[in-house]
Amino acid sequence: MKKLIIIGGYGNGTVVQSTVEDINKVKPSWNVIGFLNDNDKGPINGKPVLGPIDKVTAARYLEDEDVYFFYTLISVKLNFKFLHKLHNLKIPLERFATIIHPTAVISTFAQIGYGVSIQPFVSVGPNVKIGNHVQIFAQSLIGHDAKLADYSYVANNACIGASVHLQEGAYVGTNATTLENINLGKWSLVGIGAVVLKDLPDYAKAVGNPARIIGKVE
């Protein structure tokens, strides 16, 4: 059984922890040995905090080839601050685990990168390309031929249309929907329940039905 360290804590960290528990009920695969967290001293849902989120702590566990990591601290709220922290950890990309809930339906023809989280009842269509450190939350639909670049984020019940391209860090909120064949720019934000009918530029913040741009992501 592979060992897993979750980087984060309460919130997305415990969502990933719960997904791992569900995976292990079907086929024992991962042993969560603990969390890296700067604030909580632990334990977190019964698992210890192994140390802060820094290169020194990570390096200690990298010496064990059976240890993998999952980085949960990516969202539109945290974006660049914790993206910088991720890069500073110097963890090789191939040491980041991809965690897929057993109820998710993933096309054989989809491509999925490292450090990806796919939560319960997600559907991923054929020829979808998912980059690294992408998080897709429960009951979302990813249409065929969509592309989700690194650090993109799809919240619960969102629907990504066919051939849609989420650029790096694009965030699609809960219950939001996109038309087919459109582009969501880098670090753009689609608000809760929005219906996106046309391309969004980089850093655009869009809400409503139909979605309209109301500002920029800082």
Q: pLDDT digit string (tens) for 22-70?
A: 999 999 999 999 999 998 787 999 999 999 999 999 999 999 999 999 9
pLDDT score at 157: 98
In this structure, the answer to whether residues 116 and 208 fall within a common structural domain is yes
In this structure, the answer to whether residues 85 and 104 fall within a common structural domain is no
- At 11-22, the pLDDT tens digits run 899 999 999 999
pLDDT score at 85: 87
- Alpha-carbon distance of 135 to 194, in angstroms, equals 19
Q: Which residues of the chain have pLDDT under 50?
A: none
Q: In terms of C-beta density within 10 A (0-12 exposed, 13-18 middle, 19 or more buried), how is residue 121 classed?
A: middle
pLDDT score at 180: 97
Radius of gyration in angstroms for the set of CA atoms belonging to the chain, rounded to a whole number = 17
In this structure, the answer to whether residues 147 and 201 fall within a common structural domain is yes
Where does a domain end: 74, 95, 116?
95
First-to-final CA distance of the chain: 42
Give the structural domain span for 186. 99-216
pLDDT score at 141: 98
pLDDT score at 77: 65
Domains: count for the chain: 2
pLDDT score at 74: 80
In this structure, the answer to whether residues 74 and 104 fall within a common structural domain is no
Bridge pairing between strands 111-112 and 212-216: unpaired
pLDDT score at 42: 77
In this structure, the answer to whether residues 154 and 191 fall within a common structural domain is yes
